[in-house]
Chains A and B, each alone.
Chain A
Amino acid sequence: MIRLDKNSETDLIKLFESKNIGLEGNIIKLIESDSNDFKTYLTKCTDKDKDSRRKRLEITKKIQLQNNELSDLNEQNQKMMEDLQSTLKEAEEQKVKIEAQNGELVAWREENEKIQQELQKEMIKSESARIRAEEAKTNAINDLDILQKKNQTELISTIVRVALYIIVGVGIVTTGVYVFTLVIGKDTQVIGAAWSNIFGILLTNAFSIVGTIMGIKYATENKQ
């Protein structure tokens, strides 16, 4: 323990009373005195020191608390930043994936367009092939029709030729019989009437046949 001389004790007491300046800290705990006045002084100094320490302790605790809160907030912020960064990273990865998918889609679209163009070309080709086939079909039908008509015409012309031969033959034969009858001087009343009738009929039929032939010929020529 420390003991101060009387003058020092008096000076310290006066300093405290005049300017409120006193001893501070743990040194007070190491000073002892027999003087009641100085003991009172030491008690006052101790109380003052304790008050200021208590205040400082409270303030320091508050600051410590605030620091802890700030530290917690900082940790939360860092965590949030990490979360944000990982989210950003994920978004970037997704972006890269989407870009890759987009690239694939563009390539696929281009391929599709190519295929579509090829299809269109093929469709045009098939359309033209269809048109050609239809034309061929029409031609074939026409050919068939013509052939049929040709056959019919040939048949008709054959029939007409035969009919003409018959008419001419019958005319010749009837005329011959009539001429023969005239030459030999026999009765020509029946044969003359018959010849006249037959000849009229033959002429009528012959004109009819000629008309038919001309009509058929005209129709065939028009169609061709």
Chain B
Amino acid sequence: MIDSILLVDDEDLFHLVFEDACSLLDISLSLNALNSSDEAAKLFQKWFQDGDNNDKPECVFVDLNIIGSSFDGIELIRKVNFEYGNHVVIGIISSSNEPEEQAKALQAGAQFWIIKSDDIEPRLEEFRKDYEGYKNRTAPFKVYK
């Protein structure tokens, strides 16, 4: 089970869906959700500067297009991986299935790409099975369709 998850998504309703799905599937113990990539970047910057890793999530799910943010999810992943220290499992959760975007996400250091849909639970279940591989950095980039 993942200790803590951070979800960065502009859709409040999806926060509830994701939280309930994670709880029902016993994926995580705690889940925090943010609405903008700017807020998430600020938190990661703080954790990086303070060296305080207690509040830091174990796994981060980022939406691709975050309305109201100054940069998209791929840029947030790039910042987390290359500017604020790469110590979390991070990937995209989006309704988009564009191979070009997925290639960009891979370049930015994303480890997975989960496609949002009405039936998200089977994908999260599959993700849970692969999670240890992501944590150990042994599992390759995967798209959960």
Contact = CB atoms under 8 A, between A and B. Distances in A.
Partners in one complex: yes
B13 A67 contact: yes
Contact of B24 (A54, A60, A61, A65): A54
28 contacts: A25-B23, A26-B23, A26-B28, A26-B29, A26-B30, A29-B1, A29-B29, A49-B23, A50-B23, A50-B24, A53-B20, A53-B24, A54-B20, A54-B24, A56-B16, A57-B17, A57-B20, A57-B24, A60-B13, A60-B16, A60-B17, A61-B17, A63-B13, A64-B14, A64-B17, A64-B118, A65-B118, A67-B13
A30 interface: yes
B26 interface: yes
A173 B97 CA distance: 153
Interface in A39-76: 49-50, 53-54, 56-57, 60-61, 63-65, 67
Contacts of B20: 53-54, 56-57, 60
Nearest to B1: A29
Interface residues of A, number: 16
Interface of A: 25-26, 29-30, 49-50, 53-54, 56-57, 60-61, 63-65, 67
The residue among A26, A30, A50 with the most chain B CB atoms within 10 A of its own CB is A26
Interface in B17-72: 17, 20-21, 23-24, 26, 28-30
Nearest to A62: B118
B68 to A, nearest CB: 16
Nearest to B23: A53
Interface of B: 1, 11, 13-14, 16-17, 20-21, 23-24, 26, 28-30, 118
Contacts of B118: 61, 64-65
Contacts of B21: 57
Contacts of B1: 29
Contacts of A29: 1, 26, 29
Contacts of B24: 50, 53-54, 57
B38 to A, nearest CB: 24
Nearest to B11: A64
Nearest to B120: A61
Nearest to B14: A64
B67 to A, nearest CB: 12
Given A26-B23, A50-B24, A56-B20, 4 more contacts: A26-B28, A57-B21, A64-B11, A65-B118
Contacts of B13: 60, 63-64, 67
A30 B29 contact: yes
B108 to A, nearest CB: 27
A78 to B, nearest CB: 16
A64 B21 CA distance: 14
Nearest to A67: B13
A63 B118 CA distance: 11
A181 to B, nearest CB: 161
A54 B23 CA distance: 10
Contacts of B14: 64
Contacts of A61: 17, 118
Contacts of B30: 26
Contacts of B11: 64
